[in-house]
Amino acid sequence: MAEDEETSNIKITLKVEDVMTREIITIDENATVKEAAEIMNQNDISCLIASRNGRAIGIITERDLLKRVIVEAKNAKKTKVAEVMSTPLEVITPDTSLEEAVRVMFEKKIKKLPVIEKKQIIGLVSLTDIARCQPAIMKILKSFANVQNAPKSMKKVLDMYIV
């Protein structure tokens, strides 16, 4: 067998741990959404993991703030994270393939997945992390986008990073 044939048969499977963000910032569910927004702004991030007694129970994203606080004209100084966070928390493990992570994102219509190991959050993987990691992943994203209609919230990322 020629060397080119051998290399063309090799399948590289990237795992979530290869592209995930390892620095996770949490916020107590009883904190106000104003505090959450300030933390996101200070750290230049788009989400926080919400916790209760040190245990992750949800996620609060910029989209949650927009849809559930701003649009509904809630008072950011009085509204608690628990009132607007997304829950239950969808999670994956670090050894999950990126293809499986994309499948979960499409199925659940979410763009961010906390990564857990031994019941502890050790990272976060986003659709953007996956989309920018390397050309091989583009094929996975394209195949999902061609087979399923991408949720509106994902379409912008897909259109931006996938040609």
Q: Which residues on neighbouring strands pair with residue 120, listed in sequence order? A: 117
Q: Assess if residue 2 is contained within a domain.
A: no
- DSSP, collapsed to helix, strand or coil, labels residue 123 as strand
Range of the domain at 67: 13-161
Q: Assess if residue 6 is contained within a domain.
A: no
Q: Kindly report the pTM of this predicted structure.
A: 0.74
- DSSP, collapsed to helix, strand or coil, labels residue 152 as helix
> Which pLDDT score is estimated for 7?
38
> Which pLDDT score is estimated for 42?
97
> Which pLDDT score is estimated for 138?
67
Q: Assess if residue 1 is contained within a domain.
A: no
Q: Assess if residue 122 is contained within a domain.
A: yes
| Cα torsion through 101, 89, 115, 76, rounded to 10 | 110
Q: Assess if residue 4 is contained within a domain.
A: no
Domains contained in the chain, number: 1
CATH number, domain at 55?
Answer: 3.10.580.10
Q: Assess if residue 5 is contained within a domain.
A: no
Helix (DSSP H) and strand (DSSP E) numbers for the chain: 8, 5
Compute CA distances 62 → 43, 146, 152, whole Å. 13, 27, 15
Phi-psi region of 88 (alpha: psi -120 to 50; beta: other; left: phi over 0): beta
> Which pLDDT score is estimated for 82?
98
> Which pLDDT score is estimated for 150?
72
- Asked if 54 and 63 count as a contact pair (C-beta separation under 8 A), the reply is no
Q: Assess if residue 8 is contained within a domain.
A: no
Low-confidence ranges of the chain (pLDDT < 70): 1-12, 134-138, 140, 146-148, 161-163
> Which pLDDT score is estimated for 2?
47
